[in-house]
C-alpha cells in the first residue's frame, strides 16, 4: 500500500515539475519532425526526436510519443532492432500511464517491426531465426486481439493487426489462417470505421489469398469489388490499388482460359503501371527542384550576409582613417572597393557554377528516368507480343485445326459434296495461315525453337532481295541464351535492318555475331549513303535513341560510325551472364 502511494506521489511530482513545459511548442516541434520524416529527411528528424526525448521525465506521455516517433524513423531506415528497442521503451511508459490506445499502437508497431525483420532479412521463411521472429510478431498481435477485441475504441489498430497477421500467414502458406484474419479485417473496415484505401488494400489481399487457394471465382468477385469501389484515381496509392486488382484479374482470366478478358486486363494493368511510374518520376523531380530552390535561396541569403558584412567592414575602415590625408583615403577606399567587388564576383561565379552543376545533375536524372520509362514500356510491349503470339499459336491455331478436322469428318460422311463445307474449309485454312503469319510477326518461331543465331540467319534470308543482300557472319556457333534476352537482341537487330532498308539505299549489308568472355558482340554494317552522326536528333534518331537506351539498360555499349556516302557501322557489346 505504501509503495503504491509513493509511486503515485512520484508521478504527481513528475507532472507538477514539468507542468511549465509549453505543450503548444512541443506539438509544433512534433509536427515539424513528422514532416521531415515524410520528406525522407530522417537524419534531421532523428536529431530533433533524440533531443526532445531528454526534455521530458521518464513517465511523461510526450516522452512516450517521441520514443515512438524515433522508432518510426529507424523502421524507415530498415534498422529493425533499434526501432523495436524504442517502441518497447514507449510501450513501457504507456503501460504505466494506462493509456489504452497508445498501448494498442505500441503492440502493433512492435509486432510490425518483428514482422518486417522476418520478411526482409530472412528469405528462408522456414529457418529457426525466421520462425522465432514470426512468433514474436504473433505474440504482440495476439495481445491486441486478446486485450482489446471487444473495446469500442481502437478499431483501426485492430483491423491493421488482422491485416498484418493475414499477410504474415500468407507468406508462410498457411492460407486458411490468412483467409480468417483478412476476413476479420474487412469486417471491421466495412462496419466500424471508414478507411476506403485500407479496405481496398485488404480486399486485394483477400483476392490474392483466394488465388493462392485456386478459388478463382471468389478471387474474381473480390477484385471486381475493388475496381467498383475505387473512386479517387488521382493519388498514387489509389492507382496502385487499381493496378494490383487489374493485374490479378488478368492472371485469374488467364488461369480460367478467358483469354480475351485476360488480355484486356493485362493492357489496363500495364497502362496503370506506366501512369504510376510517370507520377512517381514527377514527384521525385519536384523534390529535387525543391532541394535546388532551397539551396539557391540559402546561397542568395549568404550573398546578402557577405555584402552586409563587407559594407560594415568598409564603414569601419573609413571611420578609422578619417585622420589621414584625402589622397590616402581615396586610394584606400578604391583598393577596398575593388577587393570587395572581386570577392563578390568570385562568389557569384561560384554560385553560378554550383547552379549549373545542379541543373546538369537534374538533366542526368531526368534522362535516366526517361530511359527507365522507355525500357519499361518496351519490356511491356515485348511481353504483350510474346503472350499474344503464344495465345495465337497454342489456343487459336489449335481451335482452327480442330474445326477443320471436324469439317473433314463431316465431309467424309456426306455422300454428295456440299459447297458450303468446301467454302468453310477454305476460310478456316486461310484464317489458320493468317493466324500463323501474325504469330510469326509478333515473335519469330525460329527464334523460340532454335535460338538467336538461326533467327538472325532467317531474318537475313527473308529480307534479302535483288536490290539488297543481307549476310550473317558468325565465326563460332552462338549458344542459346535466356529467352527474354534473345527476344530483346533479335528485336534490336531487326530494328537496325529495318533502318537499313528504309534509309540507307545500300546494296549490301551484313550482321556479325561473336561471343567472347560472356560478352555478345553484334556488328551491323551497310554500304549505303550514310549520314552525319553529329546531326542525329537525340529524341528521335530513326529509332536509334530507343536502341541506345535499350542497350544501356542492359549495361552494354552502343556505338555508331557513319559518314556521308561511306556507309554505316553499328557496334553493340552486351554482357551475357547466363548462356544456356
379 band by pLDDT with thresholds 50, 70 and 90:
low
What CA–CA distance (Å, rounded) separates 438 from 431? 10
Query: Quick one: cell of 111?
Result: 509486432
Query: Under a CB-based contact definition with an 8 Å cutoff, are residues 392 and 440 in contact?
Result: no
Sign of CA pseudo-dihedral 190, 196, 200, 201: negative
What CA–CA distance (Å, rounded) separates 8 from 14? 10
What CA–CA distance (Å, rounded) separates 486 from 451? 7
- What value does the mean pLDDT take over residues 451-459? 91
- What value does the mean pLDDT take over residues 357-363? 59
Given a cut of 50, is residue 51 above it in pLDDT? Answer: yes
509 band by pLDDT with thresholds 50, 70 and 90:
very high
- What value does the mean pLDDT take over residues 3-18? 43
- What value does the mean pLDDT take over residues 398-424? 68
Burial profile 302-322: b = 16 or more Cβ within 10 angstroms, e = fewer: eeeeeeeebeeeeeeeeeeee
Which range has the worst mean pLDDT, 9-23, 221-235, 346-360?
Answer: 9-23
What CA–CA distance (Å, rounded) separates 455 from 441? 12
Which range has the worst mean pLDDT, 184-198, 342-356, 504-518, 554-568?
Answer: 342-356
Instruction: Please give the mean pLDDT across all residues of the chain.
Output: 78
- What value does the mean pLDDT take over residues 299-303? 74
Helix or strand run (H / E) with residue 318: helix 259-320
Query: Quick one: cell of 564?
Result: 556521308
What CA–CA distance (Å, rounded) separates 366 from 364? 5
Given a cut of 80, is residue 59 above it in pLDDT? Answer: yes
- What value does the mean pLDDT take over residues 350-367? 58
5 band by pLDDT with thresholds 50, 70 and 90:
very low
**What values do phi and psi take at 531, rounded to 5?**
-160, 170
pLDDT tens across 322-337, in order? 555 555 556 655 666 5
Given a cut of 90, is residue 301 above it in pLDDT? Answer: no
Given a cut of 80, is residue 35 above it in pLDDT? Answer: yes
Same fold, 2-270 and 450-575: no
1 band by pLDDT with thresholds 50, 70 and 90:
very low
Question: How many residues belong to the chain?
Answer: 580
Q: Where are the domains of the chain?
A: 2-270, 271-443, 450-575
Q: Name the fold adopted by 2-270.
A: 1.25.40
20 band by pLDDT with thresholds 50, 70 and 90:
very low
pLDDT at 474: 83
Given a cut of 90, is residue 421 above it in pLDDT? Answer: no
pLDDT at 297: 74
Query: Under a CB-based contact definition with an 8 Å cutoff, are residues 270 and 388 in contact?
Result: no
Q: Which one has a higher pLDDT value, 456 or 330? A: 456
pLDDT tens across 203-221, in order? 889 989 999 999 999 989 9
Number of other residues whose CB lies within 10 A of the CB of residue 163: 22
pLDDT tens across 245-271, in order? 889 998 999 999 998 988 898 988 888
26 band by pLDDT with thresholds 50, 70 and 90:
confident
Given a cut of 90, is residue 470 above it in pLDDT? Answer: yes
Query: Under a CB-based contact definition with an 8 Å cutoff, are residues 274 and 377 in contact?
Result: yes
Which CATH code fits 450-575?
3.30.565.10
pLDDT at 228: 87
CA dihedral 350, 351, 356, 360 (to 10 degrees): 100
Please give the share of the chain, as a percent, with pLDDT higher than 70. Answer: 69
Question: Nearest to residue 184, comparing CAs of 394, 169, 540, 171?
Answer: 169
Question: Please, is 488 exposed, middle or buried when counting C-beta atoms within 10 Å of its C-beta (0-12, 13-18, 19+)?
Answer: buried
Q: Strand pairing of 568-575 and 508-516?
A: unpaired
In angstroms, how far is CA 203 from the centroid of its own chain?
22
pLDDT tens across 166-183, in order? 988 888 889 999 899 999
Amino acid at each position: 500500500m505504501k509503495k503504491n502511494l509513493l509511486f503515485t506521489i512520484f508521478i504527481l511530482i513528475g507532472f507538477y515539475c514539468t507542468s511549465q513545459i509549453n505543450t503548444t511548442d512541443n506539438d509544433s516541434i512534433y509536427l515539424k519532425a513528422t514532416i521531415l520524416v515524410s520528406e525522407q529527411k530522417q537524419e534531421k528528424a532523428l536529431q530533433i526526436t533524440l533531443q526532445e526525448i531528454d526534455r521530458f521525465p521518464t513517465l511523461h506521455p510526450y516522452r512516450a510519443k517521441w520514443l515512438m516517433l524515433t522508432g518510426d524513423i529507424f523502421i524507415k531506415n530498415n534498422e529493425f532492432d533499434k526501432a523495436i528497442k524504442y517502441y518497447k521503451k514507449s510501450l513501457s511508459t504507456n503501460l504505466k500511464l494506462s493509456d489504452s490506445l497508445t498501448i494498442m499502437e505500441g503492440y502493433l508497431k512492435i509486432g510490425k517491426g518483428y514482422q518486417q525483420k522476418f520478411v526482409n532479412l530472412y528469405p528462408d521463411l522456414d529457418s529457426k531465426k525466421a520462425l522465432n521472429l514470426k512468433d514474436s510478431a504473433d505474440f504482440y498481435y495476439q495481445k491486441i486481439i486478446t486485450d482489446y477485441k471487444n473495446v469500442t475504441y481502437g478499431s483501426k489498430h485492430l483491423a491493421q493487426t488482422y491485416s498484418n497477421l493475414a499477410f504474415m500467414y500468407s507468406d508462410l502458406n498457411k492460407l486458411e489462417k490468412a483467409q480468417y484474419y483478412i476476413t476479420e479485417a474487412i469486417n471491421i473496415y466495412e462496419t466500424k470505421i471508414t478507411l476506403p484505401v485500407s479496405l481496398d488494400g485488404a480486399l486485394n489481399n483477400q483476392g490474392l489469398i483466394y488465388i493462392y487457394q485456386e478459388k478463382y471465382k471468389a478471387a474474381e468477385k473480390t477484385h471486381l469489388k475493388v475496381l467498383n469501389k475505387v473512386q479517387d484515381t488521382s493519388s498514387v496509392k489509389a492507382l496502385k490499388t487499381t493496378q494490383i486488382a487489374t493485374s490479378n484479374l488478368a492472371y485469374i482470366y488467364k488461369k480460367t482460359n478467358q483469354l480475351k478478358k485476360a488480355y484486356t486486363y493485362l493492357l489496363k494493368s500495364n497502362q496503370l503501371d506506366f501512369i504510376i511510374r510517370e507520377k512517381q518520376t514527377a514527384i521525385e523531380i519536384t523534390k529535387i527542384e525543391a532541394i535546388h530552390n532551397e539551396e539557391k535561396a540559402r546561397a542568395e541569403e549568404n550573398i546578402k550576409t557577405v555584402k552586409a558584412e563587407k559594407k560594415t567592414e568598409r564603414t569601419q575602415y573609413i571611420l578609422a582613417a578619417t585622420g589621414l590625408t584625402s589622397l590616402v583615403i581615396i586610394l584606400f577606399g578604391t583598393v577596398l572597393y575593388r577587393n570587395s567587388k572581386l570577392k563578390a564576383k568570385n562568389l557569384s561565379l561560384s554560385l553560378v557554377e554550383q547552379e549549373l552543376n545542379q541543373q546538369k545533375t537534374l538533366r542526368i536524372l531526368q534522362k535516366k528516368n526517361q530511359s527507365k520509362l522507355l525500357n519499361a514500356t518496351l519490356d511491356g510491349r515485348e511481353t504483350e507480343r510474346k503472350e499474344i503470339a503464344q495465345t495465337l499459336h497454342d489456343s487459336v491455331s489449335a481451335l482452327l485445326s480442330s474445326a477443320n478436322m471436324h469439317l473433314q469428318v463431316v465431309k467424309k460422311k456426306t455422300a454428295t459434296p456440299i459447297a458450303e463445307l468446301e467454302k468453310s474449309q477454305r476460310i478456316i485454312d486461310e484464317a489458320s495461315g493468317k493466324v500463323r503469319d501474325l504469330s510469326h510477326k509478333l515473335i519469330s518461331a525460329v527464334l523460340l525453337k532454335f535460338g538467336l543465331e538461326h533467327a538472325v540467319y532467317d531474318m537475313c534470308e527473308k529480307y534479302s532481295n535483288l536490290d539488297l543482300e543481307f549476310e550473317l557472319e558468325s565465326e563460332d556457333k552462338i549458344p542459346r541464351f535466356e529467352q527474354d534476352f534473345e527476344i530483346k537482341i533479335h528485336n534490336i537487330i531487326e530494328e537496325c535492318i529495318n533502318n537499313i532498308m528504309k534509309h540507307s539505299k545500300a546494296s549490301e549489308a551484313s550482321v556479325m555475331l561473336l561471343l567472347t568472355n560472356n560478352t555478345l558482340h553484334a556488328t551491323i554494317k551497310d554500304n549505303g549513303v550514310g549520314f552525319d552522326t553529329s546531326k542525329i536528333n537525340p529524341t528521335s534518331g530513326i529509332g536509334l535513341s530507343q536502341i541506345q537506351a535499350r542497350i544501356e539498360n542492359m549495361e552494354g555499349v552502343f556505338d555508331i560510325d557513319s559518314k556521308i556516302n561511306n556507309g554505316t557501322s553499328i557496334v553493340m557489346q552486351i554482357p551475357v551472364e547466363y548462356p544456356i
